[in-house]
Amino acid sequence: MIETWLLWLFALTALAAAVLTVVLRHPMRVALALIAAMLALAGVYALLGVHVIAVFQVLIYVGAVMVFMVYAIMLLDVRDRSFTRRFSTLVVPGVVAAVLFIAILAHAVWHALPAAGRPALGSSALFGLQRFSVEFLAAYWLQFELVSVLLVAAVVAALAVLEVGHRLRG
């Protein structure tokens, strides 16, 4: 019972923080709202019993990605037109398209899902760390290796971007 309420609470918090992410003016506040949304989603994952993903959500998203993002915001405190006029000229068509998109998505999901049972809470030994890791490295080792290749490619690409920057300046 209390878990259901907590699930609602976390989901609504995530939604509210997402709305704030779209409408707030200063990039730092946007980043803080996004961090709040991610933490609320981590709470949702933990309540669903997928503890591994909840931990990684906090570690990777909040701990690595958003810290990097906040660092970039502090580095680039540029107050240009994007600061005084936060929405672009596409705001009206964008909102119309988003409303249409939500309507179509809601229609599709409504018809595709069978009489939606609420998610079974607490049935969670399913995704303990041990079972998850064994299954991960037994069945999905190829994807694991491909991801490491992708990370190497990303590092090389970041270095290449920096090299371009050096060449532009020098």
Partner 1 sequence: MLIATSAALFALGLLGVIIRRNVLVMLMCMELMLNGVNLALVTFAQRTGSAAGAVLVLLVFVVATAEIAIAIPIVLLLVRRKDQLDLDAYADLKG
Among positions 3-62, residues that touch partner 1 (CB under 8 A) are 7-8, 11, 14-15, 18-19, 21-22, 27, 30-31, 34, 37-38, 41, 44-45, 48-50, 52-53, 56-57, 60-61
Measure the CA–CA gap between 94 and 82, rounded to whole angstroms.
17
Q: Residues 84 to 123: which contact partner 1 by CB under 8 A?
A: 85-91, 93-95, 97-98, 101-102, 105-106, 109, 113, 116, 118-120
Q: How far apart are CA 11 and CA 81, in angstroms?
A: 34
Residues 25 and 83 sit within 8 Å (Cβ to Cβ): yes
Residue type, 109: V
Q: Is 129 in the site for partner 1 (CB under 8 A)?
A: no
Does residue 140 touch partner 1 according to CB under 8 A?
A: yes
149 binds partner 1 (CB under 8 A): no
Does the footprint of partner 1 cover residue 126 (CB under 8 A)? yes
- To the nearest 10°, report the CA torsion of 6, 12, 16, 21: 80
